[in-house]
Amino acid sequence: MDAARLPGTSGPEQIVAHVDMDCFYAACEQRREPALRGEPLVVGMGYENGATHGAVATASYEARAYGVESAMAISEALERLPRKVEAVDDPDLDVEDAGFYRPVDMDFYESVAADVRDILHAEADVVREVSIDEAYLDVTEQVSWETVESWAQDLKDTIESEVGVAASVGVAPTMSAAKVASDRDKPDGLVVVEPGAVREFFSDLPVEDVHGVGPVTARELASLDIQTAGDLAAADPELLAERFGERGREIRRYARGEDERSVTPKGDPKSLSRESAFTDATADMEAKCRQVRTLADAVADRAQRKGARYQTIGIKVVTPPFDVNTRARSLPGPVEEPELVRRVALDLLGEFDDDPVRKVGVRVSNLDFSAGEQANLDGFGGDSGTAETTDSSRASNGAERVENESDEGQAGLGTFAENDGGDETAGESVNEGPDGGDNHISLPPGQTTLADF
């Protein structure tokens, strides 16, 4: 067909679909236990049945009505939404205002995700899997703008009937617009934004709906009297660059519907990371350590499931106002040692003992997917290995790229980067909305480029 062109693009109009599974972990549990459908349901990381430790990975919409949010401590979630099994025996609790809790079961979720991926690859020639629960599809050669809505509805129906989970789908000429569209009418949504309508679609949306804008950036933009995506699209690019660096120009382009990226399949990632934002900056070291332990375990588990060994373990710490600090330690060779990931991450975190922190992240890099033997770590201690330190950098280095950002903050895990260069994250960013990442378990939703980290 004769495709229109968007300002800022250099080629024929793509037809891009972004598929985002709704509350994926909770949906998987509801598929396994149909009685949980329509019930408040919380899925916890580092959680065991009957326990009070761990963090919320995702919560069903019914649980969110009680104020349960991704990355929230299970103990706090239980204060807002008691366990139904306990409410039955406690006269002080109301059974109607109680819910169900389940531990994360990644093997099961991966098996369900594999069924979804099979459908996506059958429906599109080009698929970019961003995380366990979201993907971009280029269907330019399969459908036209006149037929794409019907195609997308058929895709949603196929996923629900064959796999038993719901998906929201956004279709647009660009990846960033498709991402926002898929989140616009959740759950079970379908939004099509045709060429020429992208900027109008964005104009009245809250600025935090723009791909790459999280809560911290949204507050900073508000201080510049930029409240909507339309305000951002009309903002002075030089002012944005001065305040946010190149990322300021980038989010402005996205708000204007300008995005030259094309959907490309991913090879082996160069790194795996998870990050989580606190609702407010905290100097509580116990809270910081708890979050880093959870993230370290999630990253190590992800690496294990992908068959990846890692030679570098690092953390990211964002301190007010937007200072990004990265620390890393290199090992003698590639290993698969979950306990070591946790130990090194916590050791590196010690430098920020007294600092108020907005966000923390854990990353493993220098990945090795070969079947060789693991490196010998005899003599490797907390102070051994090669230390790599990156000084604080302003938000222009990408303190807040969100891609993980997507489903409603699933998994409580976000991303270090939404980097088409090979940095992989899963699920969405914690407390930054969904677009979790390529970031963005996303956590990943579910998507900051720290190329040297």
Catalytic residues: 134
- What is the C-alpha to C-alpha distance for residues 418 and 225, in angstroms, rounded to an integer? 27
- CB-CB contact of 279 with 305 (8 Å): no
Q: Which residues contact 72 (CB under 8 A, 6 or more apart)?
A: 55, 56, 412
CA dihedral angle for residue 144, residue 147, residue 148, residue 154, rounded to 10 degrees: -140
- Distance CA(2)–CA(183), nearest Å, equals 29
By the 8 A CB rule, do 351 and 255 touch? no
